[in-house]
Structure 1
Amino acid sequence: MPSHKTFRIKKKLAKKMRQNRPIPHWIRMRTDNTIRYNAEAQALAPYQARVLSWNK
C-alpha cells in the first residue's frame, strides 16, 4: 500500500473501515435476532487494492 495517499482516498478508506464492523448485540436483541450479522461487512483488502489503483 503506498504511503502517499490523496486525502480523498484516505477519507473513502476510513469510511469503509468504520462500516466494516459487527452489528451491536443490542440490535440483535431488538430485532429478535432476525438481523444476525452485518451483510455489508466485507474483506477490505480487495477493496483497498482497487481504490489505491485509482491513485496511479
Structure 2
Amino acid sequence: MKEKMKKIIVRFGPLLTILALQMGIFTSNASACFWQYQPKEPEGMKKFKKDN
C-alpha cells in the first residue's frame, strides 16, 4: 500500500503543485464571496496581482 501511494505521489505531485499555484494566482485577484470573512493574503502572492 505504501509503495502504491508513493508511486501516485511521484506521478501526480508536480501536477498538483502546478494546479495549486494556478488556483492561488486566480484567487489573488478575487475577493471573498462572503463579506464576513476575508483571509489575509500571503506576501508572496502580491507579485501575481493585477494592477488596475
TM-score range, shorter chain: 0.3 to 0.5
TM-score, normalising length from structure 2? 0.33
Q: Which has the higher helix share?
A: 2
- Larger radius of gyration between Structure 1 and Structure 2: 2
TM-score, normalising length from structure 1? 0.32
